Structure 1
Amino acid sequence: MKVVGLITEYNPFHYGHQLHIEEAKRVTGADYVIVVMSGNFVQRGTPALMDKYLRTQIALGQGADIVIELPVCYATASAEAFALGAISILDKIGIVDSLCFGSECGDVHKLGIIADILLNEPPEFKNRLGKLLKSGITYPAARSQALIDIYGSVDTDTSSLLNSPNNILGIEYIKAIHSLDSKIIPYTIKRISTGYHDLTLDTKISSASAIRTSISNTDSLSFIQPNVPTDVYRILEKYFNKTLPIYEDDFSLLLQYKLLLENPSGLSEYQDVSSELAKRIYQLRKDTYSFSDLSLAIKTKQITLTRVYRSLLHILLNMKVKYFNEFNCNGYSQYARLLGFKKEASKLIRIIKDMDTIPVITKVADADKSLSELGNIMLAQDIFAADLYNQIIYEKYKARQHNEYTKGVIIKD
């Protein structure tokens, strides 16, 4: 029995994701697919277009056998922490043989070379990185340039490798595997058709960004119908303007309220918020009133827009850096919370539980019995994030959602 792990957001699920699942099973020879998926908030620091249970239902219908939630502190973190949180789950459950991810280059060896450099950080790289950071450019740009300056001879495509988002995530996945001394074998498949940030719907396989943009610009689903599997479209259509879509600006009033309660020193206690960024947020908090406009106002040459989005989201979700640091010092993800599974994969869940290498949560009401104090803090963050998301669904669509204590695991026949 072989098991492949996938790390996903499915925001929303499209034909590229369908191909990813099919190719992951083909290239790894896997019998089962275990997905670690972001919950109601995603890595770019925004809410997911639709809630995690709908996305779980879709994933199980499109080839996933088990869906596990990535805790919100990692789902909304930098690429490095995102990868460590997800890989820690796949490693601890003890039955995953391989990881398969999409990348622009499609060459796991090239990505592995860069991953090793970043993991070991030779002195010449660290020195060059430090000088570039002092010049005032962002950390991602400085890291990329330092690699190009010192290791560009490794491959002529080094620059393009480091400027492609899926390559960057792939590098972080490999780093995480090595850092955790995991036996998981990484594989990558080459992304085809449009790029991660491409906002056009020119082809059947369009990016999730393009699909979200189309929905937000037209307030209609008709334009995306050719870009998502039929069963996925039916689910989107069923819940469209009833519980979805959800956007960052739906949280604007809550964010403004939260920021008005804070001071600069308090803001710097949140995950991803430096003292410099805290001062800037505090100074500009009254100048604009939407989540997106405030983010644009705060952004600078040194602080990326995505970093700002994540920081504001962490403030909104009350995610303190002291807890995040504790999670990182104690094995990263503290549990594997099941969102859904196929009946035929239930034997895998029994194996995972019998291995007893990570607490498996199937019922939130009973979770505190199996979790450490730190694990309960992490779960409380997930529950709060879900409650807040559900409240926004109600305010926007007047649709009541099950809370985390009454919503059961999705089981697909």
Structure 2
Amino acid sequence: MKVVGLITEYNPFHNGHKYHIDEARRITGADYVVIVMSGNFVQRGAPAMIDKYSRAVMALENGADIVLEIPVCYATGSAEYFALGTVSLLNKLGIIDYLCFGSESGDISILKEAAQFLTNVPASFDQQLTSYLKQGLSYPAARAKVVGDYFRKTQTHDNHDSKIADILSEPNNILGIEYLKALHKLSSDIIPVTIQRKSAHYHALDLTEQTPSNVVAEALFSLDVTTAGNPTISSATAIRRAILNADNVFGLSKLRNSVPNSVFQLLTNNYYKTYPVTEEDFSEIIKYKLLSEDKTSLVSYVDVSTDLADRMMNLKDLNKCISEIVKDLKTKNMTHTRIMRALTHMILNIDQETFYSYNQSGYTAYARVLGMKRDSSHLLREIKRREGIPVITKVTDAKKQLDPLGMQMLKNDIFATHIYNQTVYKKFGTTIMNEYKYGICII
């Protein structure tokens, strides 16, 4: 039995994700695909557009066998901690043979070399990094520049080293490198595999009108045959933008070719019933936290530096939308995503001391099951048999399975979901069952 693991957000699920699942299964020869997926808050520091159970169903209906939830403290973490949390989860399952991730590069050897360099950086690395940060560069940009400087100095005639420097400018390459670093740090036997992204650029704002000719042949086999018209692969950013710009449910029709048919039906059926959810829907609680905290309490949250805390304390006007507040807080060396993660950690009460304890205790403390295929239940039995990690199928039973620190991590997840569900109710008048009543999705 071969099993491949995928680390995902599916915000929302689209044709590129379907391609990833099918291609991961094909190139590894895996019999089963296990997904670890962000819950109701995602890595860029925002709420998921649609709830985690709906997204789990999307995945299960399009090739996944089991969907597990990434604990919210790691789902909203920086690239490094997002990777450590997710890879530790896959590693502890004891059944994962391969980790398959998408990258702009598509070259696992180059990514491995970059990961090795960043795992064993030269003595001058930190000094150069600090210098670029002082010049106003963000941490990702500063790190990429230091690596670029190093490899350009040692560049060989075949331009190989220059390629290593260049890959740090793309978001999926960066995440892939962090996955490789995490596999090394955890001494994992999981074999990493990457596939080149076959979609619009990660940040592309517009839906793809036509699938590029070099992608059609590779993508057709993997898409739901009931998808209307020719399948297209658009970025999740473009799909979210199209949903937010739709005047009514009929405006979703432009998504039909960008998502599998089952996803299109789910999106249509739940439009303005349970989604779309955005960061602006959390504006009141964010502003409440900004008004009620002092500098000492602010710096206790993950991703809130003393500089950011000072800027928060000096905000003059909160009668703005969240995007404008983030602009007021932003500096040259602090990205929009970093600020949004900090705000999310504030409203979810994810503090640095507790987060440090999680990291010192082996990162992810449990495998929370969101959904599975009925004929894949034996995988859960095998995970339980190996006893590498507690498997949570019922929240009410968790106290019997987890130590106090593990329960605290789970309580973070439950709290995050309750806040999210309350926001859905306030916006749409729809009640989503709480974590104690919502069973796992089985199809």
- TM tier, smaller: over 0.9
Would you say the 8 A contact 1:256–1:289 is kept in 2? no
Would you say the 8 A contact 1:46–1:310 is kept in 2? yes
Q: Distance in 1 between matches of 2:350 and 2:129?
A: 29
Are 1:158 and 2:189 counterparts? no
Partner of 2:259: 228
Structure 1: runs of 5 or more not aligned: none
Give the letter for the 1:209 counterpart.
Answer: T
Would you say the 8 A contact 1:364–1:405 is kept in 2? yes
Would you say the 8 A contact 1:40–1:51 is kept in 2? yes
Partner of 1:217: 245
Cα RMSD of the aligned pairs, angstroms, is 1.2
Pairwise CA distance, 1:288: 4.0
Q: Distance in 1 between matches of 2:379 and 2:106?
A: 30
SS of 2:370 mapped into structure 1: strand
Pairwise CA distance, 1:316: 1.0
2:233 is aligned, of 181, 205, 209, to 205
Give the letter for the 2:355 counterpart.
Answer: F
Are 1:345 and 2:345 counterparts? no
Partner of 2:10: 10
Give the letter for the 2:260 counterpart.
Answer: P
Partner of 1:69: 69
Q: Distance in 1 between matches of 2:32 and 2:174?
A: 26
1:180 is aligned, of 186, 197, 200, to 186
Q: Distance in 1 between matches of 2:399 and 2:317?
A: 40
1:329 is aligned, of 335, 360, 378, to 360
Pairwise CA distance, 1:318: 1.1
CA offsets, 1:66-117, max 9 Å, x none? 0000000000111110011000000001000000001001001100000011
Would you say the 8 A contact 2:18–2:62 is kept in 1? yes
Pairwise CA distance, 1:286: 3.3
Q: Distance in 2 between matches of 1:97 and 1:158?
A: 27
Pairwise CA distance, 1:259: 1.6
Are 1:46 and 2:46 counterparts? yes
Give the letter for the 1:260 counterpart.
Answer: L
Would you say the 8 A contact 1:108–1:187 is kept in 2? yes
Give the letter for the 2:404 counterpart.
Answer: E
Q: Distance in 1 between matches of 2:196 and 2:292?
A: 47
CA offsets, 1:282-333, max 9 Å, x none? 2116344322221121111011110000001111111111111111111011
Calculate the TM-score normalised by the size of structure 2. 0.91
Partner of 2:347: 316
SS of 1:226 mapped into structure 2: coil
Structure 2: runs of 5 or more not aligned: 211-231
| Structure 2 counterparts to residues 82-97 of structure 1, below 5 A | 82-97=82-97
SS of 1:116 mapped into structure 2: helix
Would you say the 8 A contact 2:148–2:166 is kept in 1? no
Would you say the 8 A contact 2:287–2:318 is kept in 1? no
Are 1:280 and 2:308 counterparts? no
SS of 1:100 mapped into structure 2: strand
**Stretches of 4+ moved more than 4 A in 1?**
none
Identity fraction in percent: 52
SS of 2:162 mapped into structure 1: coil
Partner of 1:379: 410
Q: Distance in 2 between matches of 1:257 and 1:193?
A: 39
